Amino acid sequence: MAPVMPLQMAPEGKELRVTSINAGRGLTRRLIEMGFNERALVKVLNSHGRGALIVQLNDARFAISRGMAMKIMVDVA
Amino acid sequence: MGAKNHITVALAGNPNAGKTSLFNAITGSRQHVGNWPGVTVEKKVGKYTHKGIEIEVVDLPGTYSLTAYSIDEIVARDYIVEERPDVVVHIVDASNLERNLYLTTQLMELGTRVVIALNMVDIAEKRGDVIDIEKMAGFLEIPVVRTIANIGYGVTTLMDEVVKEAQKPEHHEHEIGYGKEIEKALVKLESIIKRDTHLVGIYPLRWIAVKLIEDDENIKERIEFSPVREEIEEFLAEIDTIDFEARMADKRYEAINAVLPQVLKKGEVGMTTSDMIDRVLTNKYLGIPIFLILMWGAFELTFTFATPFMDIIDLVFGHLSGWANENIEPAWLGSLIGDGIFGGVGFVLIFLPNIFILFLMLSFLEDSGYMARAAFIMDKLMYNLGLHGKSFIPLLMGFGCNIPAIMATRTIEDEKDRLITILVNPFISCGARLPVYLLLAGAFFGGQAATVIFFIYIFGIVVAVGSAKLFRSTILPGKPAPFIMELPPYRLPTLRTTVIHMWERGSMYLRKAGTIIFVFAIVIWSLSAFNGDGYIEETEKDIDEGELLVGDGAFEGKGRFTVLEDGEGTFTGTVLETVELKSGTYEKDRYYEGIELMEEEELHGDGTFEGECEFLSDEDGGRYIGEDFTVEESFAADIGHGFGPITSPLGFTWKMNTALVFGFVAKEVVVGSLGVLYGVGEDEDRVSDSMEDDKDFSPLVAFCLMLFTLLYLPCLATVPVIYKETGSVKWTGFSVGYGLVLAWLLAFVVYQVGSLMGY
Ligand SMILES: Nc1nc2c(ncn2[C@@H]2O[C@H](COP(=O)(O)OP(=O)(O)OP(=O)(O)O)[C@@H](O)[C@H]2O)c(=O)[nH]1
Ligand SMILES: [Mg+2]
């Protein structure tokens, strides 16, 4: 099984799958509403090292801060 | 139920889906549209008549769901859930169907009548997507209409559907099945809730049950005083609501994904142009330098491009002012029109070209999609400074006007992050402050003007982020909350929309010039042209034998002319006693033309003296033509002198004080006031020349005045907005007080250090 990691650590350009969200209830819900539900496929387009990320989710692009990206767990799809 | 002829329609949907564009297309309004999420933060109402039916259209802020996390979303949620419009038009971004449909599932559950406006079909189709709207409408049991909101395509068809839908009863038939276990819990919950007859009347039963499982704050508040509250809580404690909620969300996506492939045939998806642009603009190393270069370029353009236009306007108003002063009778009216209106208002209008170019840049920034990227690029820096990533957008907007900028903080979820962003926003140099800088830097720094102004802008930013850092380590401790923000695709703004946006906001400045600045120009003119004794006017008076008169003007007759301290003047006529003056010796009973008298010199003669002196008339008396008192003794001067003790350590004179006092109304008034105060009683056609002639007005003072104007007070219109957005008198007072203290301290340091260094 592919290792689960926070989105922050994920490699750029690889197809990833959201496995879970490690956050409080409200934030988890918000992320799901924005499309980060379990099994959603995402891709890191641009990683600023220790800074924020640009993530592709279907046809949307999101800027995600480091703190937030640590809460979204993914594995390589 | 008979046919309704008055219906309310709410426009709801994800952020940046095109709601406001559609609102504008339907109602013919010109509400603010921009290519980034979170443009609209309050509801806007418009009217439209469709085939005899009056429709009240309500534009709402964007939201991802009916659970609200930030103030703008609360506005949207409350309107849809509590106010219950007759129809909700759900604007769905066709180029991003799956996520958009999540909100649809929620609206369906709520049981409102929904019509889907499938917007941005142009974008979806351009990249080859094929959407079968008939099937889509069939599956969802909701009418679907294709629209392209920004060009108004599909509006009529959409409104047809809306009107049709409004006549139907509310229906809750299409709902999502959540699986046996959850359905059982929902049924049980419903049976409990049903006993609270009050609640049942307000919301659909099933919806309440779902929201209770989702731990929804608003619904929890609703059941606070319900007779069945305990029973509900007991039941909820028995089930694993967190797990249930997750499964429910899953089911919704499952339902969407069951429908989607049958409705949507996706075109080729390679790397989009937008992503390619992002490779460069948001590059790890290039992002910040590119941002800075763009800002510098925008700044340069605002400054240099406008110069020729400014010069023309300046010249026109200069001439108009001179003409009015000379040709309009009575003299006071000439001065009111010349100095007050052309001088004050015209002075502000000189900077109109700059304002327009500034807004052109900002429109481009907003419409292109770069705005949201800038927030991303700056996130790390912002974080280190204690500011939330989303704070960057309100800060950028502040360069236009602080009011919409402060409103834009509504999208920031965390209260502390939001408060800090509000508090530091007034330090960003808004468009109204630009004329002040342009005037002062232009008059005193010549070729260096652009650099000085750039420095002032940067200084404002430094103060803003420095204050944020300070607040974070003192009164509002903590770290900025993590953030997530959707990035819109880049779009090349059309010339038309950009120009419209520019005009919308630039014309505000024009309107302000015609209203508030106009009024205050007249107020300041009145204050400077009057004092307790009346209007400052040229007078002619006869002086009787032996009378003494002090004045600044021309004296005619036989008598003693004693030049006052600081004064000087010239005498033409017959000298009656031989005198030795600095300019030479003049003999008794000889006629001289233009004898120069310097300070504290005296001459006895028969003729005309012009200048400032004490005139003691001889036997026959004499005649005086001149000003009774000057602007130095007007009400305006009294006001300015009143603040003297506070501002003299900053090098400010009374004229500047008066201008600053009235500048609280609107910062442009500082310019208008200086225009009036340096115009009244001055001969120079151009007010800036009179300013340069003022020996107390050095470049250092001008610089301090710019700093002070930047920081000292949010303008009169901003204060109530700060109050409204913080909801606290304390924070509003703090914002005002902090600015004043900071302005004084910084101007003090700069002036004192500058003086010591000999500037
Ligand atoms: N190509 C295209 N662009 C559109 C369409 N509708 C809106 N836009 C553009 O999309 C952007 C967002 O439009 P808005 O009307 O501000 O969106 P909104 O939903 O009100 O956004 P928020 O108020 O931020 O939630 C603007 O740049 C519009 O010009 C459309 O049908 N096609
Ligand atoms: Mg909007």
> pLDDT by residue (tens digit) across B79-120?
999 999 999 999 999 998 989 999 999 998 888 899 999 999
Q: Is residue B253 part of a domain?
A: yes
HSE-CB of B478 using CA atoms within 13 angstroms: 13
Instruction: Please tell me what DSSP assigns to residue B302.
Output: I
d(CA B392, CA B399): 12
Distance from the alpha carbon of residue B501 to the mean position of ligand 2, in angstroms: 14
pLDDT at B173 over 70: no
pLDDT for B615 equals: 83
HSE-CB of B684 using CA atoms within 13 angstroms: 14
The answer to whether the CB of B399 falls within 8 A of the CB of B518 is no
CATH code, domain with B150: 3.40.50.300
CA B513 to each of CA B2, B333, B346, B352, B435: distance values in angstroms, whole numbers, following the listed order: 51, 20, 9, 10, 12
Q: pLDDT tens for residues B121-139?
A: 999 998 899 999 999 999 9
**3 state DSSP class of A19:** strand
The answer to whether the CB of B78 falls within 8 A of the CB of B42 is no
pLDDT at B1 over 50: no
Task: Indicate whether B430 and B522 sit together in one domain.
Answer: no
Q: pLDDT tens for residues B580-639?
A: 988 889 999 999 998 998 888 889 999 888 888 888 888 777 877 766 556 677 888 889
Q: Is the CB of B122 under 6 A from ligand 1?
A: yes
Final residue in a domain of this structure, among B122, B138, B167? B167
Q: What is the mean pLDDT of residues A44-66?
A: 88
Nearest to B700 by CA among B646, B741, B757: B757
Contacts of B235 (CB under 8 A, 6+ apart): B185, B188, B189, B192
Instruction: Please tell me what DSSP assigns to residue B543.
Output: E
Instruction: Please tell me what DSSP assigns to residue B148.
Output: B
CATH architecture assignment, domain A5-76? Roll (2.30)
Task: Indicate whether B157 and B184 sit together in one domain.
Answer: no
Q: To the nearest 5 percent, what fractions of chain A are helix, strand and coil?
A: 20, 40, 40
Phi, psi of B626 (to 5 degrees): 175, -170
Q: Is B65 on the interface with A (CB under 8 A)?
A: yes
pLDDT for B725 equals: 95
pLDDT at B750 over 70: yes
Q: What do you get for the CA distance between the two ends of chain A, in Å? A: 10
Task: Indicate whether B485 and B584 sit together in one domain.
Answer: no
Final residue in a domain of this structure, among B627, B642, B665? B627
Q: What is the mean pLDDT of residues B468-490?
A: 92
H-helix segments, B10-96: 19-27, 71-78
User: Given pLDDT bands bounded at 50, 70 and 90, which one contains residue A59?
Assistant: confident
pLDDT at B262 over 80: yes
Q: Is A41 on the interface with B (CB under 8 A)?
A: no
Distance from the alpha carbon of residue B488 to the mean position of ligand 1, in angstroms: 10
Q: Is the CB of B19 under 6 A from ligand 1?
A: yes
Record the tokens describing residue B478, joined without a space: 């903590």
Residue of B378, B484, B486 best to disrupt the A interface, most CBs of A under 10 A: B484
pLDDT at B466 over 50: yes
Task: Give A60→chain B minimum CA distance, Å.
Answer: 7
pLDDT for B185 equals: 93
Q: pLDDT tens for residues B203-253?
A: 888 899 999 999 998 888 888 888 889 999 999 999 999 999 999 999 999
Phi, psi of B492 (to 5 degrees): -80, 110
pLDDT for B560 equals: 87
Query: Ligand 2 being an ion, which residues bring their Cβ within 5 A of it?
Result: B 19-20, 39-40
Which range of A62-76, B508-522, B612-626 scores highest in mean pLDDT? It is A62-76
Task: Indicate whether B326 and B253 sit together in one domain.
Answer: no
Nearest to B222 by CA among B109, B87, B81: B81
Task: Indicate whether B241 and B95 sit together in one domain.
Answer: no
Residue of B119, B219, B376 best to disrupt the A interface, most CBs of A under 10 A: B376
Instruction: Please tell me what DSSP assigns to residue B603.
Output: E
Nearest to B180 by CA among B247, B121, B254: B247
pLDDT for B693 equals: 76
Residue B90 belongs to what domain range? 6-167
Q: Is residue B175 part of a domain?
A: no
Q: Is residue B333 part of a domain?
A: yes
Task: Indicate whether B104 and B54 sit together in one domain.
Answer: yes
Task: Indicate whether B547 and B592 sit together in one domain.
Answer: yes
Q: What percent of chain B has pLDDT over 90?
A: 51
CATH code, domain with B245: 1.10.287.1770
pTM: 0.85
**How many degrees, rounded to 5, is the angle at CA B313 between CA B311 and CA B319?**
100
Cis status of the peptide bond prior to B330, with omega within 30 of 0: yes
pLDDT at B320 over 50: yes
Task: Indicate whether B570 and B656 sit together in one domain.
Answer: no
d(CA B420, CA B407): 13
Q: pLDDT tens for residues A27-37?
A: 999 999 999 99
By CB atoms closer than 10 A (0-12, 13-18, 19+), residue B584 is exposed
pLDDT at B63 over 90: yes
Q: What is the mean pLDDT of residues B325-343?
A: 82
Task: Give B45→chain A minimum CA distance, Å.
Answer: 27
Whether residues A64 and B67 touch (CB distance < 8 A) is answered with no
d(CA B444, CA B697): 9
Q: What is the mean pLDDT of residues B190-203?
A: 87
What ipTM, to 2 d.p.?
0.95
Record the tokens describing residue B156, joined without a space: 């009529």
Q: Is residue B584 part of a domain?
A: yes
Q: What is the largest distance, in Å, between two alpha-carbon atoms of chain B? A: 124
The domain tally of chain B equals: 5
Residue B366: enclosing H or E segment and its boundaries? helix B352-368
Q: Which of B99, B284, B487 sits opposite A34 (nearest CB)?
A: B99
Q: Chain A residues with CB inside 8 Å of B375's CB?
A: 63
Task: Indicate whether B520 and B640 sit together in one domain.
Answer: yes
Estimate the crossing angle of helix B495-514 against helix B668-677, to 10 degrees: 50
Task: Indicate whether B561 and B482 sit together in one domain.
Answer: no
> What is chain B's alpha carbon radius of gyration, rounded to the nearest angstrom?
35
